[in-house]
Amino acid sequence: MIEQRRVLWQPGPKITIAVLAVGALLVVAGFFAWQSFVKPKDQIAENQSTLQRVKAQAGAIFMLPEGDPVLIQIQDKQKLSGQPFYEKAENGDYVLVYEKAKYAIIFREKTRQVINANTISIGEESAPPQN
Confidence (pTM): 0.64
Amino acid (one-letter) located at 117: A
Residue 98: count other Cβ atoms within 10 Å of its Cβ: 19
The Cα–Cα gap between 3 and 60 comes to 84
pLDDT tens series, the chain, 131 aa = 567 776 666 777 888 888 889 999 999 988 888 777 766 677 778 889 999 999 999 999 999 999 999 999 999 999 999 999 999 999 999 999 999 999 999 999 999 999 999 998 876 554 444 44
Q: What are 31-38's contacts with CB under 8 Å, separation 24+?
A: none
CA distances from 93 to 75, 101, 114 (A): 8, 21, 10
pLDDT in tens, 3-23: 777 666 677 788 888 888 999
